[in-house]
Amino acid sequence: MAIYGGIEAGGTKFVCAVGSGPQDIRDLVRIPTTTPSETIGLVIDFFSKHKNLSAVGIAAFGPVDLSNSPTWGYITSTPKPGWAFTDLAGLIGRALKVHVGFDTDVNGAGLGEHRWGAAQGLDNFVYLTIGTGIGGGGLINGKLMHGLVHPEMGHVLIPHDKLADPYKGHCPFHSDCFEGLACGPALLERWGQPAEVLPANHPAWALEARYIALALHNYICSFSPQKIILGGGVMEQPKLLPLVRQNVQQLLNGYIHAKAIERDIENYIVPPKLGKQAGVMGAIALAIQAHKIVQ
Ligand code: ADP
Ligand code: ZN
């Protein structure tokens, strides 16, 4: 049976796994994201212990270069100190002498959910993470969402009632885009407490649900996804998901005639079935895809 390497390359840690899927993880390590040379060096050391990897998949924080160009596989203009224009896929692929599958963290997680999780059998779905940042990906017509660059669903603009919510927003590029209003650090800045300690009855959650639902309304109208998977640390507040579903139905106001939205929304807007493993399993799924392409 073929064995793969998967790297969930995040802004705070790199999770690396060896295996062939959620039921077959043979080794796993978490490496802090420090400097590119230190972190990538430790990643290479970890995988060097495992011979006969058929391919390695990397699901990376971005923006990343997915185009057919000499800088394919790079992390590009990230504000993360030291990491801008890092040849992530190239350094790892050359050191390990393996084929590399490379995509955004959210496209990777979406591919993992498609192979093993909540999106099995679907050709059109959105995977959204709401954590330190907000990002979205998934499949359209059976293919990972790519384009000019890749989607930046966290940076869509949504209505911001500045009287009801005077908080200016956290995005360094757009201030009050969706991410600027609704990412974890925005909750901390607006309410003075980290999202994980805000109690379930705090008004933060009604506002948060509204912002998430406004963005989902736009994705539903744009891509007509068959399912929406919501991951990321902020979604761990248990009250949030039911509030998001209610707000989506209210905003769409019966316009889109689909049983999934009108009568089965609990199975339409869902958490990742792979849970916290969605990211690293997505990276393994990218490795499997890359291996199939070269075979
Ligand atoms: P990252 O986006 O860095 O990969 P996460 O998806 O874990 O990481 O998201 C981190 C964010 O999630 C932080 O802003 C944190 O405040 C928030 N968070 C973590 N746990 C919870 C929780 N139980 N409830 C609400 N928010 C949480
Ligand atoms: Zn933005």
Q: Is 131 in the pocket of ligand 1 (CB under 6 A)?
A: yes
CATH number assigned to the domain comprising residue 75: 3.30.420.40
Q: What is the pTM of this model?
A: 0.96
Residues with CB under 5 A from ligand 2 (ion): 155, 171, 173-174, 177
pLDDT at 43: 98
Ligand 2 centre and the CA of 60: distance in Å? 18
Query: How far away, in angstroms, is 195 Cα from ligand 1 center?
Result: 7
Q: Which residue type occupies 103? A: D
* Beta-bridge partner residues of 60: 9, 104
Confidence (pLDDT) at 135: 96
Q: Does residue 289 form part of some domain? A: no
Q: What stretches of the chain show up as alpha helix (H) in DSSP?
A: 36-48, 88-96, 105-116, 178-182, 184-191, 204-223, 240-252, 259-262, 278-294
Strand order in the sheet with 125-130: 143-144, 134-140, 125-130, 227-231, 269-270
CA-nearest residue, atom 26 of ligand 1: 234
Does the CB atom of residue 10 touch ligand 1 within 6 A? yes
pLDDT at 289: 96
Q: What pLDDT does residue 1 have?
A: 82
> Is the same domain home to 124 and 259?
yes
Are 147 and 191 in a shared domain? yes
Same domain (yes/no): 263, 128 = yes
Ligand with smallest separation from the Cα of 157: 2
Asked if residue 151 and residue 96 are part of one domain, the reply reads no
Using one digit for the tens of pLDDT, what is the confidence trace for 168-192?
999 999 999 999 999 999 999 999 9
158 shares a domain with 247: yes
Q: Is the CB of 231 under 6 A from ligand 1?
A: no
What is the CA(269)–ligand 2 centre distance, in A? 23
pLDDT less than 70: residues of the chain: none
Q: State which of 45, 79, 104 marks the end of a domain.
A: 104
Smallest-distance ligand from the CA of 196: 1
Answer whether residue 288 is part of any domain: no
* pLDDT for residue 182: 98
37 and 153 both lie in a single domain: no
Q: Return d(Cα 65, Cα 189) in angstroms, integer.
A: 31
Residue 88 is predicted with a pLDDT of 98
The structural domain count of the chain equals 2
CA distance 64 to 70: 13
- Asked if 262 and 149 sit in the same domain, the reply is yes
- Both 266 and 122 in one domain: the answer is yes
Residue 109 lies in a domain: no
The Cα 86–Cα 139 span in angstroms is: 26
Q: What is the pLDDT of residue 28?
A: 97
The pLDDT assigned to 293 comes to 83
- Quick one: the chain helix, strand, coil %, rounded to 5? 40, 20, 40
Say yes or no: CB of residue 232 within 6 Å of ligand 1.
Answer: yes
Ligand lying nearest the CA atom of residue 134: 1
Instruction: Looking at the structure, tell me whether residues 266 and 170 fall in a common domain.
Output: yes
Instruction: List pLDDT tens digits, range 261-293.
Output: 999 999 999 999 999 899 999 999 999 999 998
Q: Is residue 90 part of a domain?
A: yes
> Quick check: is 290 in a domain?
no
Of the three residues 104, 137, 159, the one that is the final residue of a domain is 104
My answer on whether 83 and 207 are in the same domain is: no
Q: Does a structural domain hold residue 133?
A: yes
CB 150 within 8 A of CB 135: no
Whether residues 225 and 249 share a domain: the answer is yes
pLDDT score for 30: 98
Query: Is the domain of 253 the same as that of 133?
Result: yes
- Domain end residue (candidates: 70, 104, 138): 104
Give the domain extent around 232: 118-271
Atom of ligand 1 nearest to the CA of 185: 14
Residue 87 lies in a domain: yes
Residue 292 belongs to a domain: no
